A = this chain, B = another copy of it.
Amino acid sequence: MKSVSRVFKALADPTRRQILQELKEGELSAGEITAKFPISGPSISRHLSILKGADLVAERREGNRIVYQLEPEQVAGVVGDFLSAVCPTQVLRSRKRKRSKR
């Protein structure tokens, strides 16, 4: 699937959007994220893997747990690109140019 599609599909779910908002405050482990939502751990885990698949978050293992952090550049990059493609006059501000296929 294309990157843009993965990102917008990821953002289509309210739980996932809220996970991103929580991560904006700082990194959190899977368990800490789960504690903030009324749904099961496995369901959160699935949401996290979708967010990760869209590169909206990064994960790293830290001992026993897995810690997630927001990737604001991907969020702003992909969504911002779409926004400036569709309504160039409304949006915009100098964003870092994306490095081509690093």
List chain A positions with a Cβ less than 8 A from chain B.
2, 4-5, 8-9, 11-12, 14, 17, 20-21, 24, 70, 72-73, 75-76, 79-80, 82-83, 85-87, 89-93, 95
Contacts and interface: CB of A to CB of B under 8 A. Distances in A.
Nearest to A94: B93
A56 to B, nearest CB: 9
Contacts of A83: 75-76, 79-80, 83
Task: Return the 10 tightest CB-CB contacts between A and B, nearest first.
Answer: A76-B90, A72-B87, A12-B12, A93-B93, A76-B87, A8-B12, A9-B12, A8-B11, A20-B86, A76-B91
A65 to B, nearest CB: 23
Main SS at interface, chain A: helix
